[in-house]
Structure 1
């Protein structure tokens, strides 16, 4: 009797099939061979028929992607959603990344053929957008920008900071621990809710490396509070550098975000160095931005740590395109018209059922805490949330007050139909 396992297609025969050849070009031969081996092993165990192996391999390869990361439609109303990768990139930034994916003159002067300053384009774009800065430097994230500044200015010395600004950021990372890792010593002044100019004055001395002011971007302290503004701190500091971490990367004041600090205003008020993230309100790739006095920023760029935290060519290209190009998606979503959002929500509800309810979006990413972004959402049964997350496309709604809320603020309008189809599919399975 012939062993049915002899009918299992050979690896070389499967690799020669046109669909598998095409998949090898897209996914790589190692990934393709793994899928072939898995299908053959299933047939050897009797879990699949030998004649089904080829179809199984082709179906698996057709569904396979080059990354495990899945695109998600953000229907939460939170614009800078950390769990979804923060800022979605603009088409201009995507085009810049594609253009810079090969060999590029990231650190080369093509005219002379000599080595040049790294990321000159991103630097020029930042300086044009923030003329109050004498120099700019880009590193790989916001925390790295702050670490570089405090390391270069205060390693082995003191960083003077208000107790009310010793914040904890996402995933349990705490500012005091971050600064302590640089070799600087924290000199805490004032109280949690009130810090006065005299507190800083008493702390300044020969051992001071810098004064640090941090925007408490992810919380608010209200009531019996006081702080010291940047202009007053500048007068107190004298020759001591004043570093201000604005967090969210807003370059210029935005009336829609009252109270959110911006780089231009902070520098005009007297900060020597401003640090910020590139992938929050700036709307670009993950990056850390340092802006400020030319001599101070140039000194930071020469520090050995600057090499360890430098931004790669893709981030530099995307940041340049974000700053100098058309409005990034984050900007559009922040300023989305509430009436237009209502019209879209009405259309969605008309197709899928549910109720249109008022729904305030949020900035997210630690930016503008408590500032509502007026809008609308379609209220659906709470049970719809999980299948929407697991569907194709994956859709992340907000689960709140026993309901699944679908807010279209951060969903590209051309994807509204996809959202409706996904909801209808969930409804059909639930009925």
Structure 2
């Protein structure tokens, strides 16, 4: 016979022990509660049900039994709270099935980004181009020449992948790809400046997000930080005064996630390269966002840095470039060769999925089609008139479905630490629901499948279609109309 504590659960058992000396009526009530708990079937009895057998066939016996036990505990809590359940076995089966479905779906799920933040770090940054998805599907589904030279029929090097496209687009001598831009910066500092001085302006000692700071990466690499100038003003003479036989490089970091305005001074890139050449010091630039098109205000392009004579430039693959997460380094052949041979390279190397996605994305830039085919670029170049037409169509359909909808002017953001302060004119869909606050509506939107991530301003839920993929407009309307 099952112990009383197990039948009741610890909370109900405590109640029983506290009232043993009370009246007969109280004891009868507790015994009635006990009878309610007994309606919960055993796990073995539940496993005989056809629906549960189907769950075991799909998800395995062990996982199904765990889900059944969790469902039984939830039912026990509901009964303890006074709820009457006519079909407890069916309820447990449903709870278990829902839990197993959620687990099999995984914790990483696709969402509809209606925030208007194009490079939303929390939502995975850059959505990938269709051609990139097709390429990675073909490469990842089978074997590939990741480290195999097809011409020689012998082992090759993965570091050559994407290099020809990168050098063609940027006019750099060579290129190498690692798994993210922080790793790229670490590799450069470790491979070229370990134990030596790195001269950097105090105003460029930035935090790149997630608590990671440039000085931290520098210490990890073994390089010695030599900060010059002040937060708001650094001159050419500050760099020249810091040069010594121990100087390994001038490091320039683009402060992509903030701006300093007003009483400021900073050497131009041409000035910095000029004094570096005269003093035989290489210049390394971390431009972060990886802009390959020169029409985004406030963001330096990789091509411009190479043209200015910068020796090494590193940047991210999943920001303005619109590709996969990657750290890309382009620049002088001799320096790239040193990085390729560094022991750290193996620890941070990119995999075949990254190379497939990156090459397909870069090919769109090489062909001149990126502004139309790379989602990030398409979103950034979308005009307010185009977005307004889409917003009006969505608003009309949602109004017909019973929502209170209005359109309003607003602005989108680039995000991802790129182009701070740059506002993109847009048209927003404002949603209101009877008897529901904006916070509750936003929470409800997140509960949909797929979840819809909106933003709240002035107690209104706002949808910015700039970041809703064009093919998702109908899905968005269907989700909101069906469940409204």
Which TM-score applies when normalising by structure 1? 0.89
> Which of these residues, 22, 26, 45, is aligned with residue 8 of structure 1?
45
- Structure 1 runs not aligned, ≥5 long: none
SS at structure 2 position matched to 1:371: strand
Equivalent position of 2:473 in the other structure:
416
**Counterpart in the other structure of 2:422:** 371
**2:213 corresponds to:** 174
SS of structure 2 residue aligned to 1:374:
strand
Distance 1:43 1:309, change over 3 A: closer
Residues 43 and 69 of structure 2 are in contact (CA less than 8 Å); yes or no, is this contact kept in structure 1?
A: no
Structure 2: runs of 5+ lacking an equivalent:
1-38, 77-86, 365-369, 399-403, 433-437
Residue of structure 2 equivalent to 1:69:
108
Q: Contact 2:201 / 2:227 at 8 angstroms: preserved in 1?
A: yes
Cα deviation, 1:262-283, whole Å, max 9, x if unaligned, reads: 1101010010000000000010
Among 173, 178, 192, the residue aligned to 1:153? 192
Q: 1:50 to 1:310 in 2, by over 3 A?
A: same
Equivalent position SS for 1:103: coil
Q: 2:282 aligns with which of 211, 226, 241?
A: 241
Q: Which shows bigger deviation, 121-130 or 402-411?
A: 121-130
The Cα shift of 1:400 comes to: 2.0
In 2, the alpha carbon distance for the partners of 1:422 and 1:10 equals: 35
Whole-Å Cα distance in 2 between the matches of residues 347 and 413 of structure 1?
12
1:20-35 equivalent positions in 2, closer than 5 A: 21=57, 23-24=58-59, 29=60, 33-35=62-64
Distance 1:367 1:329 in 2: 16
Which residue of the other structure, out of 303, 306, 309, is the alignment partner of 2:342? Answer: 303
Question: For residues 109 and 169 of structure 1, do their structure 2 counterparts lie closer, same or farther at Cα, with a shift above 3 Å needed?
Answer: same
SS in 1 for 2:122: helix
In structure 1, how many angstroms separate the alpha carbons of the residues matched to 2:425 and 2:93? 53
Report whether the alignment pairs 1:344 with 2:390: yes
Deviation for aligned residue 1:320:
0.8
RMSD of Structure 2 on Structure 1 (CA): 2.6
2:68 alignment counterpart: 39
Question: 1:117 corresponds to which residue?
Answer: 157
| Change over 3 Å in CA distance of 1:6–1:411 after alignment to 2 | closer
| Cα distance in 2 between the residues matched to 1:44 and 1:76 | 38
Q: 2:56, 2:64 within 8 Å by CA — same for their partners in 1?
A: no
Closer, same or farther in 2 for the Cα pair 1:279/1:357, shift >3 Å?
same
Does the Cα contact within 8 Å between 1:73 and 1:395 map onto a contact in 2? yes
The separation in 2 between residues aligned to 1:349 and 1:176, in whole angstroms, is 49
> TM-score, normalization: structure 2?
0.80
Give the conservation status (yes or no) of the 8 Å contact 2:290–2:316: yes
Decide whether aligned partners of structure 1 residues 12 and 99 sit closer, same or farther in structure 2, where only a CA change above 3 A counts.
Answer: farther
Task: Please give the secondary structure, in 1, of the residue aligned with 2:356.
Answer: helix
Matches within 5 A, 1:79-158: 79-101=118-140, 102-130=142-170, 132-158=171-197
Shift of 1:318: 0.7
The count of residues paired between Structure 1 and Structure 2 equals 416
What's the counterpart of residue 184 of structure 1? 223
Q: Are 1:329 and 2:380 matched, yes or no?
A: no
What is the Cα deviation at residue 52 of structure 1?
6.4
Q: How far, CA to CA, are the matches of 2:74 and 2:229 in structure 1?
A: 70
The structure showing larger relative contact order (alpha-carbon pairs under 8 Å, at least 6 residues apart) is 1
Structure 1 contact 5–50 (Cα < 8 Å) conserved: no
Once residues 155 and 282 of structure 2 are traced to their aligned partners in structure 1, the CA distance between those partners, rounded to angstroms, is 31
1:292 aligned residue: 331
